[in-house]
Structure 1
Amino acid sequence: MYIRETGNADGPVLLLVHGGGVAGWMWKAQIDNFGARFRVLVPDLPGHDHSRDVPFTTSAAVVAELAALLKRLPAGTDVTVVGFSLGAQLALELAASHPELVTRVVVTSALTGGIPLPSLSHGLVRLTAPLARQTWFAKLQAKSLYIPDDLLDDYLRTSKNLPVESLVALTRENADFRTPPAWPAFPGAALLLAGAKEPRSLREGMRRLDQEHPRSELIIHENAGHGLPLRYPEWFNTRVEDWIRADLT
């Protein structure tokens, strides 16, 4: 799995985990904002962009690889894991299953209760996957995700090159994901972010995450849909930065 490393090599670590169908480039505004103070690690998940030749199989396999990455850091390294959508599910699982590696976690727009009729959904994904290679369709998808104009070419490249089998696998994993049983025992702090215009099931799941964790803070952006870090990057960066600073003091 491709990992981009940038920012302040001597700073605390910020691991940014993107959502399905995009790639590490989605964090451009966050890299620009946090790079002076943080050592920023940005993977392209299997099947995506620079990792397109690595098949996406299961979320568990990705979490294991991310954990192996963090285990290579010096003992005691301060690590904040930030995830969006599918990446937020991975961040949740990483924090819950490897609490010794994660100091704190930012969970943005994670679906935690599954979706109805998952087998039908997987079939539709397989049938419609060729559309993602059509520029007109990809542009419609980009608009729904709030992809800014300066990142549109990155999205079109990623979308056109995402293998069908990886797309089906990540869709299955996203639909089947449930909150890890060990989540309430994660000892670190948790910041939970979502948009008020996201699906009700997602918002309810985020509220349950907040209720289940003793050190969590839930913030809902009243105008945001599914794409909060891309649509409102300054708002997102400010909330994350202020929260990390408060946790460090």
Structure 2
Amino acid sequence: MMKFKEFGNKQHKAIILIHGYGISWRMWQPQIKAFSNDYFVIVPVLDGHDTENNSPFTTVEKAAADIIDYVLQTYGNQVFAICGASLGATIAADILAQNRLEIAKAIIDAGPIVPMNPFLLKLSVNYRISQAHSMKKGSRRLKQLLSRTFYPPEMVDDVFRIGANMTDESCRNVHLSVFNYALPPSIADTKTDITYWYGSKEAWLGKKYAACMLSIVPSVKIKIFKGLDHGELCIGNPDLYINEATEFFNA
């Protein structure tokens, strides 16, 4: 059963923050600290990513439905904003497509919404499972490689904890679901003000995903962050993320 973390005053407007693959809800800690002053912040701990619970990740659609069900039961159907990154962004997009919550604002940060080439997907799944196995063995080389990226030291440790706990089933299911995901036409019915973000270093995929979103929801606002790679905005530049999100929320 999916767990949820809650921060701030429940009487305030709610914001949902959905983390990406292979990292925990803690990736949002700077955003939680900033947003919980004025909002009630709900942070799902996605299945397959909970070191205290071995519930396997199944599909993007089930994750979206589980989050919707929880919010309806504990808060209500009106949510101010939903923000997702990578896998979390695809889940956020599916929450919008399910049209069961009334959401004012949505930040979809580099979420895959166009199916991947089957051959490339197979390679990706095998690579990610192999990577998780390396984390289980405490690979020093992999830890050094991650330490040279935009991940802060505490996030590198967090990634290794999640990877060491990740089952092959969850790893496989995440990738087969998210990279086979096709944005449902039902998202055209949403009343949500949506912005799709991606970094210029991931434009080879981000551009395709943004074009897909625009083709179904012509009102979506596209924003490209120069010089940033996948996940680098929310994890590597949280202050910039908070500033950009706040500007979008207040628009």
TM-score with structure 2 setting the length: 0.89
Partner of 1:237: 242
Partner of 1:56: 57
CA distance 1:201–1:77, change in 2 (3 Å): closer
Structure 2 CA distance for aligned equivalents of residues 144 and 199 of structure 1: 22
The number of equivalent residue pairs is 246
After superposition, the C-alpha distances for 1:70-96 in whole angstroms (9 at most, x for unaligned) are 212454633311100011000000011
CA distance 1:161–1:213, change in 2 (3 Å): same
Supply the AA of the counterpart residue of 1:166. Answer: S
Partner of 1:113: 114
Q: Which structure 2 residue ranges, 5 or more long, are not aligned?
A: none
> Paired residue for 2:125, among 111, 122, 126?
122
8 Å contact 1:44–1:50 — kept in the other structure? no
Structure 2 CA distance for aligned equivalents of residues 211 and 144 of structure 1: 37
Give the superposed CA RMSD. 2.1
SS at match of 2:33: helix
How many percent of aligned residue pairs carry the same amino acid?
22
> Paired residue for 2:143, among 135, 139, 146?
139
Structure 2 CA distance for aligned equivalents of residues 16 and 74 of structure 1: 15
Partner of 2:39: 38
8 Å contact 2:195–2:221 — kept in the other structure? yes
TM-score with structure 1 setting the length: 0.90
Supply the AA of the counterpart residue of 1:188. Answer: T
Alignment of 1:67-78 (within 5 A): 67-75=68-76, 77-78=78-79
Partner of 2:163: 159
Structure 2 CA distance for aligned equivalents of residues 175 and 210 of structure 1: 19
SS at match of 2:78: coil
Q: CA deviation at 1:208?
A: 3.0
Structure 1 CA distance for aligned equivalents of residues 150 and 40 of structure 2: 26
8 Å contact 1:138–1:159 — kept in the other structure? no
After superposition, the C-alpha distances for 1:15-34 in whole angstroms (9 at most, x for unaligned) are 11011101100001101111
8 Å contact 2:68–2:101 — kept in the other structure? no
After superposition, the C-alpha distances for 1:40-84 in whole angstroms (9 at most, x for unaligned) are 111110010346411111122111101101212454633311100
CA distance 1:139–1:49, change in 2 (3 Å): farther
8 Å contact 2:77–2:101 — kept in the other structure? no
Partner of 1:183: 187
After superposition, the C-alpha distances for 1:199-227 in whole angstroms (9 at most, x for unaligned) are 50232212331343243211110011001
Q: CA deviation at 1:145?
A: 6.2
Partner of 2:11: 10
Partner of 2:229: 225
8 Å contact 2:185–2:216 — kept in the other structure? no
Supply the AA of the counterpart residue of 1:22. Answer: I
Structure 1 CA distance for aligned equivalents of residues 57 and 94 of structure 2: 16
Partner of 1:79: 80
After superposition, the C-alpha distances for 1:141-195 in whole angstroms (9 at most, x for unaligned) are 6347632123332222112111121111101112101112112221110021110
8 Å contact 1:92–1:180 — kept in the other structure? no
CA distance 1:74–1:156, change in 2 (3 Å): closer
Supply the AA of the counterpart residue of 1:108. Answer: D
Structure 1 CA distance for aligned equivalents of residues 44 and 76 of structure 2: 21
SS at match of 1:182: helix
8 Å contact 1:106–1:190 — kept in the other structure? yes
Supply the AA of the counterpart residue of 1:46. Answer: D
